[in-house]
Amino acid sequence: MTPRLRPLAVCLAVAGCPAALAQTAVQQAPATPARTLETITVSASPLGLDAQSMATPADTLDGSELVLRREATLGSSLTSLPGVNADTFGAGASRPVIRGQSAPRVTVLSDGSGLMDASGVSPDHAVTTEPMLARRIEVLRGPATLLYGSDAIGGVVNVLDDKIPEAVPERGVEGSVEINGTTGSRERAGAFGLTAGQGNFAIHVEGMKRRSDAYRVPHWTSGKVEGSQTESAMGSVGMSWIGDRGFLGLAYTQTESEYGLPGHSHEYEGCHAHLGAHPHLHCEEHDHGDEGDDGDHEDEDHEDEDHEGHADHDHEHGVPYVKLKSKRVDLRGEYRQPFAGIQRVRLRGGFTDYRHHEIEEGEIATTFKNRGFDLRLEAEHEPIAGWRGVVGVQAARSDFSALGEEKFMPETRTRSTGLFLLEEYRLADWRFEVGARQEWQSTDPDEGHPSRSFNGTSVSGAAIWNFTPGYSAALSLSRSQRLPSAQELYAEGIHMATNTYELGNADLDKETSQNIDLTLRKHAGDARFSVSLFHNRVKNYIYANTLDRYEDFRLIEYAQADARFTGIEAQADYRFNSHFSAGVFGDLVRGKLTGGKGDLPRIPAARAGVRAKAMWNNWSGNVELYRVFRQSRVADYEDETGGYNMVNAGIAYDGRMGASDYTIYLRATNLFNQLAFNHASFISTAAPLPGRRVTLGLRVAY
């Protein structure tokens, strides 16, 4: 079998395992009683569905599983889920990558409201949400444009927290405290939350603080990734009025963070672009003034070079770092049965005042600011001729600016408004779903650049068939449109974090994606599985086209071409008895431009693995082993990354002391201390994934 086909074969084998497990379960059903699990409603679903009832795949992390999976950043916390990766940037920033798509095609929400930070502009900008304070994290894989706008064409991550109380504590006061420490980076973290209330009023206070040194990496010259240190703190106070039929509350949250920017090189700061009919770079000892040179250089063979040399960057003046501060106000409310015909009205909103400085040699080099709001109102109506649904409106505004040495885009003001409708109809063993969204967007830059206005229409239809007890099949068809971002329209300047000189294109048109998603699930009994196949064809896909390259520095222009994404995600588990279960999982995505124009950059490599869970009295544990395959399907000017094996394990003890519950947990990641390069990262060879780390923690709830 050829190396290119091996990942596909393994993932197809994973997809085939559920059938065998299901057959085993049927044969053994009389001897083993079926298990029942608590049904968890996905908050990001306006129809109030659980993950097994949704047309497109959804996953949730909560409880002990979330505690054992959490990392310092959101993206890294989700990489255990099929179809989800992270575009890691050292230890301070990582954004979720869903089915090969990241920001600005994947939206991160705070309980249904947009964050309005700067993470959509660059991978070195942190997502301003804190996994340690999250109650549950939901991931919708595939287009969620109907519900959350064009920036959700690749998927949605919804982070739920307790900052705004939705109920008065039964005993008047409840809370939690957690501390942990991690080897490999000397990370120390602590968090607390306290909710108190009486009558119709409740207040919640929470906070956290984390600090870590640069993390260690095996087989690296300095033994660690320079610039991967972090320090962050977050605090929030919220209050609610709570009645018999709903609540209304406000919360104020302040986030402060400092983290290093590994992979930064000063040697390209003198580079600039020569524009015109044949744009090219001009750097020291590099001038493509000759039109006969098309910029297609012979790629260096990074596979044979000594990776240890990547850690030997020039740190004469210190590694640059980000100093971030975000102030945010959240508004949340819900009112059940406000009047005849309406079952529920739901309100979500947020106002954010965000800024961060990028500091070099002790001086502020660039400042990024974003000041904006996101407001969403939904109304769920009573069934009409058997159809139950939600109608809603969403409005947002973002005032974004970049000032200083790396002002690579003008100040812009982006406004958007969307109207959406989602309806379902149930007939016997079938559930049908249809929806539509109309969106309007205007982007106004400062003087010297043209304003652009767009509108987009997205529609979808789906059918879910529960063809036999415990089994379901779902087919989803959608046409989704994404509107260009301000960065894609107006960028012009050097961007050192990604080692690029960026050129926007004010003539860009909207993307149109035709999507099909087929999912087969078994969600009852001792054997359970889920297999999803998807195919997306995108007209006018916006991508960063490399025009020229000098060493690791690139001249890119945002361009459009047709593209397609195809993939599979699968997971299967079998419960052998009340104490032990095991399973397999895997995913694969291919992304490329059509017409023979090549592969798209930073598409995650295929993965396949096994996992096991055990429970005995108050003890629980898990272990997983998976293989990340070599990624050889790369874009022009992009380097291949080798495969690696990853082993993670965790163990926890749950106890009770007086009126308090406590959990002591120990988890290990990269247990065999492998050197691992994340292909989805912009700086994969400059900042590999951390080596072996062991975390010991204690959580007390009272």
pLDDT tens column, 201-221: 999 999 999 999 999 999 998
- SS3 of 621-681: EEEEEEEECCECCCCCCCCCECCEEEEEEEEEEEEEECCEEEEEEEEEECCCCCCCCCCCC
Q: Using CA atoms, how far apart are residues 649 and 667, in angstroms rounded to an integer?
A: 6
Q: Find the angle CA(127)-CA(358)-CA(102) to the nearest 5 degrees.
A: 30
Structure tokens at 611: 């996992």
Q: Which residue has the tokens 């750097």?
A: 283
> Would you say residue 303 lies in a domain?
no
Contact predicate 504/483, CB 8 Å = no
Q: Using CA atoms, how far apart are residues 372 and 113, in angstroms rounded to an integer?
A: 12
> Would you say residue 246 lies in a domain?
yes
> Would you say residue 298 lies in a domain?
no
Candidate from 93-97, 135-139, 405-409, 572-576 with smallest mean pLDDT: 405-409
pLDDT tens column, 477-520: 999 999 999 999 999 988 888 888 999 999 999 999 999 999 99
Q: Using CA atoms, how far apart are residues 126 and 117, in angstroms rounded to an integer?
A: 8
> Would you say residue 339 lies in a domain?
yes
- SS3 of 323-342: EEEEEEEEEEEEEEEEECCE
**The most confident of 29-43, 60-74, 387-401, by mean pLDDT:** 387-401
- The domain spanning residue 114 has which CATH number? 2.40.170.20
**What three-state secondary structure class fits 453?**
strand
Structure tokens at 380: 């769920």
> Would you say residue 304 lies in a domain?
no
> Would you say residue 208 lies in a domain?
yes
Q: Using CA atoms, how far apart are residues 680 and 600, in angstroms rounded to an integer?
A: 11
- pLDDT score of 39: 61
Return the H-helix or E-strand segment holding 426: strand 412-427
The CA-based dihedral angle spanning residues 260, 326, 496, 301, taken in that order and rounded to the nearest 10 degrees: 60
Q: How many domains does the chain have?
A: 1
- pLDDT score of 285: 59
Structure tokens at 258: 């400092």
The CA-based dihedral angle spanning residues 299, 302, 304, 305, taken in that order and rounded to the nearest 10 degrees: 120
State the residue range of the domain holding 346: 6-292+310-701
Q: At residue 658, what is the residue type?
A: G
* 417 pLDDT higher than 70: yes
How far is the CA of 665 from the CAs of 24, 134, 621, 649, 662, in angstroms?
Answer: 33, 17, 9, 11, 10
> Would you say residue 59 lies in a domain?
yes
Q: Which residue has the tokens 């690139």?
A: 554
pLDDT tens column, 309-343: 333 333 334 789 999 999 999 999 999 999 999 99
> Would you say residue 574 lies in a domain?
yes
Q: What share of the chain is helix, strand, coil (3-state, %, to 5)?
A: 10, 55, 35
